[in-house]
C-alpha cells in the first residue's frame, strides 16, 4: 500500500493560452467570476493580468468547455447555472469518481489516508466552532476538492483528469450560485468524507464506491436546496 500514485512528470512551461485558462480557473475557484456575469475582453485582460492576445486565444477553449458563451451585442457571459447544467455536471462526477475510487482504494498509502483524515477533522472542528474563521471557506475547498482531484489524477489518465477539472469548474459555479460556502453545508460534506476515508482505510472497495456515490448525490441535493 505504499504506492504514491502516478509518477509526476516534468512540468512544461505554460503557453499564453494555458496561462490564461489557469488564471480564469482561479478566478472561478475564488468566486471572483460569477454565474451569468457579463465580461468584456478588456475586463478579462484586467482580472487575468494577461495581454489581449492570450485572452483571445483562450476564449474558444472556454466556449468549447461551456464555461463561457458569446452573446451577440452583449459580449461574453460566464456560464449560467440551470437545472440541466446541474444534472450534467453531477452525472459526470458520479461516472468519473466511482471509477477513480476503484483504483484509489488499492494504491493509496496508509500514511496518506491518515493525513486526509486529519485535515478533514480539522476543517470539521473549525466549521463547528461558535464563530467560524474567515479562511474556512478557502481551506475547505482546498481539502475537499484536493481529495477528489487526487483520486482522479491517480488513474493516470490525463484526458480524464482534464475532463474532470473542467467539470469541477461547472460544479464550483453551481455552488457559488447556490451560496453553499457556509458552515451548515460544510459539516455534512466533511462528515461524509470522513466516512468515505474510513472505508478506504479498511480497503473496502464496495463500501467506498457506495459512499462516494452517496456523497456526490447528497452534494447535488444540497445544491438544489440552495437554489430553490
Q: Please tell me the pTM assigned to this model.
A: 0.79
Helix axes 41-48, 52-64, angle to 10 degrees: 100
The x, y and z cell numbers of residue 182, run together, are 457556509
CA angle 19, 27, 141 (to 5 degrees): 110
Question: What is the pairing mode between strands 38-39 and 75-78?
Answer: antiparallel
In order along its 228 residues, the chain shows pLDDT tens digits of 444 444 434 334 445 566 777 788 778 777 778 888 899 889 888 888 888 888 888 888 888 888 899 898 888 999 888 888 889 999 999 999 999 999 999 999 999 999 999 999 999 999 999 887 888 888 998 999 999 999 999 999 999 998 998 898 888 888 765 554 455 688 999 999 999 999 999 999 999 999 999 999 999 988 887 655
Query: What string of DSSP letters covers the chain?
Result: -----SPPPPPPPPPHHHHHHHHHHHHHHTT-S-TT-EE-HHHHHHHHT--HHHHHHHHHHHHHTTSEEEETTTEEEEPPP-HHHHHHHHHHHHHHHHHHHHHHHHH--HHHHHHHHHHHHHHHHHHHSSS--TTHHHHHHHHHHHHHHHHHHTT--HHHHHHHHHHHHHHHHHHHHTT--SHHHHHHHHHHHHHHHHHHHTT-HHHHHHHHHHHHHHHHHHHHHHH-
Q: Rounded CA gap, 177 and 106, in Å? A: 36
CATH for 16-78? 1.10.10.10
CATH for 83-227? 1.20.120.530
Nearest alpha-carbon partner for 154 in 114, 191, 113: 113
Q: Rounded CA gap, 177 and 217, in Å? A: 18
How many residues in the chain? 228
Beta carbons of 194 and 117 less than 8 angstroms apart: yes
In degrees and rounded to multiples of 5, residue 3 shows phi and psi of -65, 120
Domain boundaries, the chain: 16-78, 83-227
Amino acid at each position: 500500500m505504499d504506492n504514491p500514485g502516478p509518477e509526476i512528470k516534468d512540468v512544461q512551461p505554460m503557453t499564453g493560452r494555458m496561462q490564461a485558462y489557469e488564471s480564469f480557473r482561479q478566478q472561478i475557484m475564488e468566486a471572483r467570476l460569477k454565474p451569468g456575469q457579463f465580461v468584456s475582453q478588456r475586463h478579462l485582460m484586467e482580472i487575468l493580468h494577461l495581454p489581449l492576445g492570450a485572452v483571445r486565444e483562450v476564449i474558444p477553449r472556454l466556449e468549447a468547455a461551456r464555461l463561457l458563451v458569446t452573446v451577440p451585442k452583449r459580449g461574453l457571459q460566464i456560464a449560467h447555472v440551470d437545472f440541466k447544467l446541474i444534472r450534467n455536471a453531477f452525472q459526470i462526477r458520479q461516472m468519473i469518481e466511482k471509477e477513480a475510487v476503484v483504483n484509489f482504494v488499492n494504491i493509496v498509502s496508509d500514511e496518506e489516508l491518515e493525513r486526509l483524515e486529519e485535515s478533514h477533522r480539522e476543517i470539521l472542528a473549525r466549521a463547528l466552532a461558535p464563530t467560524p474563521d474567515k479562511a474556512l471557506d478557502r481551506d475547505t475547498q482546498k481539502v475537499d476538492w484536493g481529495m477528489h482531484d487526487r483520486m482522479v489524477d491517480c488513474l493516470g489518465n490525463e484526458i480524464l483528469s482534464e475532463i474532470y477539472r473542467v467539470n469541477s469548474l461547472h460544479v464550483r459555479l453551481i455552488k457559488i450560485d447556490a451560496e453553499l460556502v457556509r458552515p451548515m453545508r460544510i459539516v455534512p460534506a466533511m462528515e461524509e468524507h470522513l466516512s468515505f476515508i474510513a472505508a478506504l482505510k479498511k480497503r473496502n472497495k464496495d463500501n467506498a464506491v457506495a459512499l462516494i456515490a452517496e456523497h456526490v448525490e447528497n452534494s447535488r441535493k444540497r445544491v438544489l436546496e440552495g437554489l430553490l
